[in-house]
A and B are shown apart, each in its own frame.
Chain A
Amino acid sequence: MKATTLRRIGARVATLLASLLIALTMAFALGRLSGDPTATILGPMALPEQREALRHQLGLDQPLLVQYFDYLKGVFTGDLGDSLQFYQSNTTMILDRLPFTLQLVAAGMSLAILIGIPLGVLAATREGTWWDRGASTLALLGQSVPVFWLGMMLVVLFAVKLGWLPAGQSGSLKHLILPAVTMALYPMAHIARLTRASMSDALREPFIDSARARGISTTRVVWRHGFKNAMMPILTIIVLQTGVLMSGAVAIEYVYSWPGLGQLALQSIQFRDFPLVQAIVVFAAVIFVLLNLVVDLLHSVVDPRVR
């Protein structure tokens, strides 16, 4: 491997680690700013000495810097602590909930890709037509509608009025449909708009005219020559949007009582369960950093110029 490539990888990893440290520090600071958890845990009727004992047990009576280094040590040794409200290991709880969030994100992103890309290509290949305007309007709508509101409307229509699908919770394939559709809308719109723009540029390139002049079929020109060259920003956005969906799952999981990480994060924030909040933030930050790494690797795989 060339020295420049190694240097580039090293610099990138250093940047990602710095981002991770900033995220960890922010999670620690926000946890300490969110009020005294002993009041929430013990309730208003607890004795002052009980509060002090709990503060000692949680290490909250230590200087802030000591708490911070203890926290970093825990993170880097894989010990994310115990939840204040559930009295369980945070790691266990996160791993229990993770499959549900992954399931939702996988289903939502798949829908977004399967609808967003064809929609964007359709708009790009029929620029200026009603197809284009229709697809663009749909994409704009998808980016404008608040997911919380959409979720409620879907519940009212498909669960309460029509009774076709469950209103929420998890358990069967039917339970996944409404949350996945709700989750897919925003990234679908984003992907469709980006695909349209990217494809429009690609289809104006000379090699497209050349391919057409060689008598290659339109479908082949669009997908094999045009789309392949327009793919780079789309891939990037898909990977990054996957990370966004993981964090954006909070609202959807709340609306549908979906037992994923978002729901857990919300519960921990409401209870001021800061060890759990921190653990979830650490986990999300690591995932984001890894996804960024994936984007970098994809870039170098798809485009030899960035190697």
Chain B
Amino acid sequence: MIKNRLGARRLVAVAAALTMAGLGLTACGSDSEKSGASSNAPIRALLNAQPTTLDPIVGPRSGQPVWGTMLEPLINTDAKFDPENTGVITDWKRDDPTTWTFTVREGISFSNGEKADAAAVANSILLNRDTEAGILKSYFGNVASVEAPDATTVVLKTKTPQYNIPNLLTNVFLLPPAYYKEKGSEGFAAAPVGTGPYVLDKVQAGRSISVKLNPDYWGEKPKNTGVDFSWSNEPSQRLALLQSKSVDVAFDLSYTQAADAKKAGLEVTSTETAVKLVAFLYAPTAPFNDPKLREAAALAIDRNAIVDGIFDGHAKADAGLLNIVPGSEPGESVTADPAKAKELVGGTSVTVPISYPAGQYTNIEEVAQAIGGSLEKAGFKVKYNPLDYGTLVKQVVGRQLNGIYMFAGVPNVAVPDFFASGFMKTVSITGNCPDPKADALVQKALEQDDAAAAAPVYDELNTLGVVDNHCFVPLYRQIFNYGTQKNVSGVQYDALGAYDFTKATR
């Protein structure tokens, strides 16, 4: 009889079996708890998201904390983000305005034994230029050819003069040509091979990625034996994992969490980043095709009030557009003047749409509201237009937005051209401020001999876009916080978002 087959005991037995199955599965995937500390033990680093891919050609920056331990940039940078000769490329010279010769360090190999020579360097640059979905493709459009005449020489020619080629190479990572070709993007991402201080140790799908020391590393050996990366999207969970000593370092803490971490006796490091939030005023169409109204809007917005009122000082007000490196200031800027803004609006009824990527950046809704409030005080009517990030970018690129839109510029390299070409040219990402004079200045800056010669041109360009045309209202730089255990030292994070674990100990 059925009644005899399925009884209460059986149900309980099924539940117990399920429990055992759950525990069994847990045991299958279990690791021993790693809580022991020693001076050179692996560093347990908690990121804010799972790296999407470990292929630097197509992968966004979220993967760089991990691939950056195994792969090396072609050119290293110093503390001021200027190129220096300590990396794979040890020297460079500009033979003529469009020809560069680079010298590649001798005797370096990839961890799979493949030679890391000039041919590998040239191949890495070309991969960035030619890969259709390449994340850096747009930066290398001016590169005409890259050749390796011998094992230590790379010759790069550009279509038009471009002084910042060495700067761009600080963001190109050296890849093994044969291995990358054999494996393809997906295969390489599953098991990256580079010349860096670490090599891939273990990948636990969706859970963690571990790197260990590269025994054949050509440079200074790291002070630890490896890095175990894990991730948590939930900010409070990152703090909890740090507080419960499950990790040594947790990145991307909000400023309230940073304060909590400090209270809990943890070390917190705050870094002013190059990530800059900007309000773009769209000049080709109404209402901001009227220069007077653009000026009114620029004068109405008070970036200092936003930083103090919304971020409690945990962001850095920044009045310049092209000053990439934190601490640098523009020659001229616009200071808030609500009375003059009101006078310029003059009681006319003008509606300004404010578009912003809802939820994309910390407190972006509050920032949009603060800007809207300032504009209303000046006499504008405001219409809020929250969009998801993808839609915002699509509409910006498609020139579908008028009024004001906001998003953050996230420079990969510390060159003003990143924002100048990206935002200020007539044919640019935003195209919000078409001006032949700006186009000419962008080109003139690139044609200079070096960064020092280009600096005054960029200053002039900044003044044109921000102070004269009032097309850009730079707001603030984001501050990035990370927490570490008391016994952990040496973890480094820089303003451009690069991580360095080589000096970290616990």
Binding site for B on A (CB under 8 A): 34-48, 50-51, 53-54, 57, 85-88, 93, 96-97, 99-100, 102-104, 106-107, 109-111, 113-114, 117, 152, 155-156, 159-160, 163, 166-176, 180, 223-224, 227-228, 231, 234-235, 254-257, 259-260, 263-264, 266-267, 270-272, 301-304
Q: What's the nearest-Cβ distance from chain A to residue B309, in Å?
A: 27
**A36 and B133 in contact (CB under 8 A), knowing A228-B8, A304-B2?**
no
A86→B7 contact, CB < 8 A: no
A-contacting 9-mer, from B17-25, B107-115, B268-276: B17-25
A35→B11 contact, CB < 8 A: no
Q: Once the chains are docked, how many angstroms separate the CA of A36 from the CA of B186?
A: 23
A39→B389 contact, CB < 8 A: yes
B422 neighbours in A (Cβ, 8 Å): 44-45
Q: Once the chains are docked, how many angstroms separate the CA of A167 from the CA of B397?
A: 42
B32 neighbours in A (Cβ, 8 Å): 172
Most chain A CB inside 10 Å of its own CB: which residue of B3, B9, B28, B244: B244
A259 neighbours in B (Cβ, 8 Å): 205-207
Binding site for A on B (CB under 8 A): 2-3, 5-9, 11-12, 14-16, 18-19, 21-23, 25-33, 49-50, 52-53, 55, 58, 60, 132-135, 137-139, 141, 185-186, 189-190, 205-207, 230-234, 236-237, 240-241, 243-246, 388-394, 396-397, 407, 410, 418, 422, 429
Closest to B409 in A: A44
A168→B19 contact, CB < 8 A: no
B132→A272 contact, CB < 8 A: no
Q: Once the chains are docked, how many angstroms separate the CA of A103 from the CA of B24?
A: 9
**A96 and B26 in contact (CB under 8 A), knowing A50-B137, A107-B19?**
no
B16 neighbours in A (Cβ, 8 Å): 110, 114
**A169 and B206 in contact (CB under 8 A), knowing A50-B133, A227-B8?**
no
**A and B contact pairs by CB, cutoff 8 A, 14 listed:** A37-B390, A44-B422, A44-B429, A45-B418, A47-B141, A54-B132, A85-B53, A97-B205, A117-B11, A163-B245, A173-B27, A176-B26, A255-B237, A260-B206
A169→B232 contact, CB < 8 A: yes
Q: Once the chains are docked, how many angstroms separate the CA of A267 from the CA of B232?
A: 11
**A44 and B137 in contact (CB under 8 A), knowing A93-B205, A173-B23, A301-B6?**
no
A167→B237 contact, CB < 8 A: yes
B29→A36 contact, CB < 8 A: no
A254→B25 contact, CB < 8 A: no
**A167 and B133 in contact (CB under 8 A), knowing A48-B397, A50-B138, A223-B8?**
no
A110→B240 contact, CB < 8 A: no
Interface of chain B: mostly helix, strand, loop or mixed:
helix
Q: What's the nearest-Cβ distance from chain A to residue B183, in Å?
A: 12
Task: Pick from B15, B21, B392: contact of A114, CB below 8 A.
Answer: B15
A34 neighbours in B (Cβ, 8 Å): 388, 390
Q: Once the chains are docked, how many angstroms separate the CA of A37 from the CA of B394?
A: 9
Interface of chain A: mostly helix, strand, loop or mixed:
helix
B18→A106 contact, CB < 8 A: yes
B234→A257 contact, CB < 8 A: yes
A109 neighbours in B (Cβ, 8 Å): 15, 18
B18→A110 contact, CB < 8 A: yes
A169→B241 contact, CB < 8 A: yes
Q: Once the chains are docked, how many angstroms separate the CA of A88 from the CA of B30?
A: 24
A110→B22 contact, CB < 8 A: yes
B8→A40 contact, CB < 8 A: no
**A43 and B60 in contact (CB under 8 A), knowing A85-B52, A86-B53, A167-B241?**
yes
**A169 and B207 in contact (CB under 8 A), knowing A106-B18, A106-B21, A228-B3?**
yes
Q: Once the chains are docked, how many angstroms separate the CA of A254 from the CA of B50?
A: 13
B185 neighbours in A (Cβ, 8 Å): 87
Task: Pick from B22, B138, B243: contact of A45, CB below 8 A.
Answer: B138
A176 neighbours in B (Cβ, 8 Å): 22-23, 26
